[in-house]
Amino acid sequence: MDAIDYGVQRLSLVPMRAKPSDASEMISQLLFGEHYVVLEESEDKKWLKISNVYDNYEGWIDKQQHHHISKEYFDQISEIEYKVCIDLISKILFKQQINHIVAGSVLPLLNNPIFKDEENVAFNGMSKTLYQKWGVTTLLNQATKYLNTPYLWGGKSPFGIDCSGFTQVVFKTGGHKLPRDSSQQILKGKEIGLEDRRGGDLAFFTNTEGKMNHVGILMDENRIIHASGKVRIDEFDEKGIRNVEKNAYTHHFYKLKRIIT
């Protein structure tokens, strides 16, 4: 589908919905600074179907939350290696207004001449170049910052996050690109046997019907951090995830993939 417009997100968190309606489920979120292609406009002219450039994930956003940019500007920001916020929650002064932004948000300006039209930007938080790669230890430290974040279907922030949103954003801040959903993430990396597992590996799980529906990050050989009810650390073995509070297995082990080699 050809692009009909281009945009960049200038709000903290914007829901991406499955259908052009506020009543439709939220399937993901756009973070501040993420740019996107507009693919379609709804019949009532109130919604836009967009594709997030970072992961090619498609969904509908409220047209009032769209910030238009030119094709030239879109091409320029698609070609640079921009910086991302690594603070769990931070503030950015943008055009004389304060925005609260979250980890994984894209930072404008940063002394690059193509951002000359982005006025009055100030950011004093922690950031890094997007594809500057972290090792396992630093990535796991970032993951633990999300502990006790409530589970939210489609969420990608410390105010609410789902299992694959959690893995995607943690790996994004660590310079490792993952798709949005667990069904896509399982296709990435190198498959690892249980006997070779280590911290930083992605672990995938099935439900009682045998459908793969969950992903988490191994902390070490025997512990996993994942979003289930909240972001939590549980025990892990060849059977799956053992919830330490319920004293029961909640997810059945399926496969391990290694992203950080």
Give CA–CA dist 14/90, Å, rounded: 17
> From the CB of residue 154, how many other CB atoms can be counted at a distance below 10 Å?
20
Query: How many residues appear in the chain?
Result: 261
* Residue 176: active-site member: no
* Residue 226: active-site member: yes
Give CA–CA dist 92/97, Å, rounded: 8
Catalytic residue among 163, 176, 251, 252: 163
Catalytic residue among 35, 66, 176, 214: 214
* Residue 251: active-site member: no
Say how many Å lie between the first and final Cα of the chain, rounded. 36
What CA–CA distances, in Å, run from 64 to 10, 41, 67?
11, 12, 8
Can you say whether residue 237 is alpha, beta or left, with left for phi > 0 and alpha for psi between -120 and 50 degrees?
Answer: beta
Residues 179/188, Cβ–Cβ less than 8 Å: yes
Which residues are within 8 A (CB) of 166 and not within 5 positions of it... i.e. 6 or more apart?
A: 143, 146, 149, 216, 226, 227, 231
What CA–CA distances, in Å, run from 144 to 165, 176, 224?
15, 17, 11
Catalytic residue among 35, 176, 226, 251: 226
Question: How far, rounded to the nearest angstrom, does the alpha carbon of residue 258 sit from its chain's CA centroid?
Answer: 18
Q: Give me the active site residues, please.
A: 163, 214, 226
